[in-house]
Structure 1
Amino acid sequence: MSQNRPDLGTPASYTFPRPERTTVGGGTVVAVHVPGQYLVSVRLVHPYGGAVEPLDAMGVGALTSEVLEDGPDGNSSLAPALERHGAEWVSRINWDGFITGVDVPVGRLGEAVRLFADAVRRPALDHDDIVRRRDQLLERFWLEAATSSTLAMRSLGAQLFTGRYATPLAGGPVRLADIAPETVASYHADTLASTAGTLVVVGDLSGVDPVELGKTVFGDTVPAPARVIDTPAPPPGELPRVLIVDRPGSVQSALVIAHRAPSRSQVDLPRAEGVGEVLGGMFTSRLNMELRERLGYTYGAGARFDLRRDSGVFFMSAQVEADTTAHSITSSLEQVARLREGGVTAEELSAVRDSNTVGLPVAYSTARSMAGALVDMVVHDLPDDHVDTVRAGYERLTKEDLDSAAVEYLHPEEAVVVVVGDAGRLLSPLTDTGVGPVEVRTPDELWA
């Protein structure tokens, strides 16, 4: 006997749980109680992202993040110590924050947090461990740069910024190699060891005292200083322009078309990210439909914003067959022009709304994902209702909102184009596009 599939109802509007904020010593605890989430996510957020590193020690944050995993006893001792409590270590740095943490069963939360606090505040910082980690980071840098798309993205910073953003987050091979163990120890003492930060705790907190967790983690540390926000300057040079990073013999090209964007606090997030999704954030986006489905040049093309506290970047990216590189670039720029001139369709508007609202209960179904959202709020000084505000912004998004965003946030006339591929094969056709002056460099010349 056949049955008809029931009709879908209207999705309920999602509401993100309100965190409880408590000042503990020099820091703040941000806690969310989620009944039934017995794997608790703990994150400690410090305002020491790569953007505020000294220019003579670029990459020291990334190296310190790696070294912390050697633990209070050194020699990679932290992971096995945490495993005895069923806990998993987290440590990462981005441009705007230094994030450490653990995911741990609630029944072992106290023991794991005490070990976590020791690992962050009192790591061994053994000389040989630091040198070993530095060498591993250097090796990983070049291994990852062997992937053309990674190399293209890492080449982008110096085309858009002067100062810290011109060098990759990990410091680049030359800068990273110069960091001495003493520099790491000094950096750690001035940042993670002495300042409190913000502790995020998410999970089933029945019977858990977040204040006691804060006391364990913060100890006698002092409040972290406020970060001074200065908009980084652009490098000299004509815009738009093209950089070829030469990879002789390559049969494919990795290309990135990018320009500077406002900082996160300066954009209307649903409008900006919504128009980015129309252009390259969904399978049905215009870049994917053009470069993949119609032209058959690539397996996928995308676009998105990278929004930081003091600046931002908008970029489009794809990997294409070498002989289609020039047309891929001009076709991508044509898609931007059409979006700016003609606006979005009703179908595109609906897809943007649905993709950023309907799936929120699943997106925030774990303690880890909710902790990630709270970390984002802490790093960018966002209000506790940020997720709900953005969701509501998507729900009321109009065609006019996205049409105006395309004009406000997309600026192909200010773009730089980075192509990793065979310069001997690409120089003439890329020059013929008329996009802008073309420069050729080798990977070794990028961070000399």
Structure 2
Amino acid sequence: MSQTRPELGAPASFTFPRPQRVDVGAGTVVAIDVPGQLLVSLRLVHQHGAALEPLDAMGVSLLTSEVLEDGPDGNSSLAPALERHGAEWTSRVTWDAFVTGLDVPVNRLNQAVGLFADAVRRPALAADDILRRREQLVERFWLETASAQTLAMRSVGGQLFTGRYGTPLAGGPGKLGAVTPEQVASFHGDTLASTAGTLVVVGDLTGVDLSELGKRVFGDTSASRERDLTAPAPPPGELPRVVVVDRPGSVQSALVVAQRAPSRKEVDLPRAEGVSEILGGMFTSRLNMELRERLGYTYGAGSGFDLRRDTGVFLMSTQVEADTTAHSITSSLEQVNKLRDEGVTEQELDTVRESNTVGLPVSYSTARSMAGALVDMVVHDLPDDHIDRQRAGYEKLTRESLDSAAQEYLHPEQSVVVVAGDAERLRGPLTETGVGPVEVVDPETLWA
């Protein structure tokens, strides 16, 4: 018996809940009360990410993040202790922040938060644990860079930046492998142990004393220090150019077309991300339709912004058969130029609007997703109504505003094309594209 498909109703309106803020000692608690949400997401944000690492200890942030899992008693003691309260630990490092946290049933929050505070402020940092974790991270780095796509992506920083951004966030195996237990202890003492940070709490907070929660997490720590937001300089070299990271015998190539972009605060996100989605951020994007659907070169192609507090990167990426590498690059650049020259279509505008507004109630339906949004606001000093402003920005998009975004943010003439593939096989065809001079590098020397 056939049934008639129900008609879609009007999209539900959505307003992101306004957080409450409570100053506690040197820190701030930022909280959203979600009645009925019995799993609380707690995140402690320190504005000290990998970008501020000393150049003689690159990778120390990620190593410290890993070692925190060994807990106050060392030897991987944290997870079993938290499991007794049904809590799950999380820790991640970005260029701009060091974020630790818990997801825990609200009725076990008080018990688990004591373990959390000890794990962040007073970890064992045993030398044996640090050395073991360091070796695991170095091994993981090489295992991950066995993937051509990962190798290409990790090679981009050194082509766009000098200083810390020139090396992958993990520090590279050379620098990371030289980080000592003493450097980990020094880094931890100067950051997580001594500075308060901002505590994000989302869930059903009925009966939760936010001030008391903040006291237990912040203790007698000090206020965070201001960070230097000077944009890093680019390395010397002609633009555009092509860099081949040699993988002899590779039958496929991973390619990344990358350029510098403004910082997070300097970008009008709805316009920038809107034009990026049209170019490569959706299945129906121009790159995917050209490289996958029309040419059949790849399973997928994409683009996106990596925006940081002091700078940014715009990237296009895909993976193709070696013999189609050169044409894939020229075709990708042609799509950028076509978007800049001819502008977006009405259908593309409608798709971008709907994809960034209709699904918001689902996007922020969990404590974790709402906490993630608050973390982003804290890291980038965004207003409490940031999500609503973003939604309004997408609703107000026009073809003209997206056309201007393509002109403002997409600059293929300033790009570096990084290709992970067989240099002997690719050098000739890549030179013939005329994109720019072709340089070949050995991956073994990139992060020595």
The TM tier, using the shorter chain, reads over 0.9
d(CA) in 2 for partners of 1:236 and 1:51? 20
Q: Mapping of 1:143-162 within 5 angstroms?
A: 143-162=143-162
Corresponding residue of 1:65: 65
Query: 2:272 aligns to what?
Result: 272
Report the residue type matching 1:111 in the other structure. Q
Deviations 1:108-142 (A, max 9, x none): 00111110000000000001000000000000000
CA distance in 2, matches of 1:5, 1:78: 50
Distance 1:4 1:70 in 2: 56
In the other structure, the counterpart of 1:229 is 229
Which ranges of structure 1 fall in alignment gaps of 5 or more residues?
Answer: none
Distance of 2:10 and 2:444 partners within structure 1: 55
Structure 1 segment 170-319 matched on structure 2, within 5 A = 170-319=170-319
* Whole-angstrom distance in 2 between the partners of 1:308 and 1:221: 26
Aligned counterparts of 1:440 and 1:180: Cα–Cα separation in 2: 33
Q: What is the alpha-carbon distance in structure 1 between the residues aligned to residue 6 and residue 244 of structure 2?
A: 55
Paired amino acid for 1:397: L
Normalising by structure 2, we get a TM-score of 0.99
* Aligned: 1:398 with 2:401: no
Question: Partner of 1:112 in structure 2?
Answer: 112
Deviation at 1:2, TM superposition (A): 5.4
| TM-score (norm: length of structure 1) | 0.99
AA matched with 1:215: K
For residues 300-323 of structure 1, give each alpha carbon's deviation from its aligned partner in whole angstroms, at most 9, with x where no partner exists: 000001110000000000000100
- What is the deviation of 1:10? 2.2
2:56 alignment partner, SS class: helix
SS of 2:156's equivalent in the other structure is helix
Matched length: 448
SS for the counterpart of 1:341 is: helix
Percent of aligned pairs with the same residue? 77
1:94-115 Cα shifts (integer Å, max 9, x gaps): 0000000000001100111110
Equivalent-residue separation in structure 2 for 1:286 and 1:363 (angstroms):
25
RMSD value over aligned CA atoms?
0.8
**Aligned partners of 2:65, 2:366: CA distance in 1, in Å?**
25
* Displacement of 1:445: 1.2
Q: 1:77: which partner in 2?
A: 77
**Are 1:134 and 2:141 counterparts?**
no
Q: Which residue of 1 aligns with 2:376?
A: 376
Q: What SS does structure 2 have at the residue aligned with 1:56?
A: coil
Flag structure 2 segments of 5+ consecutive residues without an equivalent. Answer: none
Moved over 3 A (4+): 1-6
Partner Cα separation in structure 2 for residue 57 and residue 276 of structure 1: 35
User: Which SS does the other structure have where 1:381 is aligned?
Assistant: coil
Separation in structure 1 between the aligned mates of residue 156 and residue 285 of structure 2, nearest angstrom:
23
Cα deviations by residue, 1:78-106 (Å, 9 ceiling, x for unpaired): 00100000000000100000000000001
Partner in structure 1 of residue 416 of structure 2 = 416
Separation in structure 1 between the aligned mates of residue 3 and residue 148 of structure 2, nearest angstrom: 52
- CA distance in 2 between partners of 1:310 and 1:41 (Å): 28
Instruction: Give the 3-state SS of the residue equivalent to 2:118 in structure 1.
Output: helix
* Cα contact 1:13–1:357 (8 A) shared by 2: no
Q: Distance in 2 between matches of 1:115 and 1:21?
A: 23
Per-residue CA shift, 1:367-404, capped at 9, x if unaligned? 00000000000000000000000011001111101000
Give the distance between the partners of 1:146 and 1:105, measured in 2 at CA: 39
Pairing 1:422-433 to 2, within 5 Å after superposition: 422-433=422-433
C-alpha separation between the residues in 1 aligned to 2:6 and 2:417?
49
* Cα distance in 2, alignment partners of residues 183 and 95 from structure 1: 19
Task: Letter of the 1:359 partner, please give it.
Answer: G
> Helix, strand or coil: the match of 1:428?
helix
Matched to 2:346, the amino acid is: A
Whether the 8 Å CA contact 1:194–1:222 is kept in 2: the answer is: yes
- Matched to 1:211, the amino acid is S
Equivalent residue number for residue 323 of structure 1 = 323
Map of 1:333 onto structure 2: 333
Query: Counterpart amino acid of 1:88?
Result: E
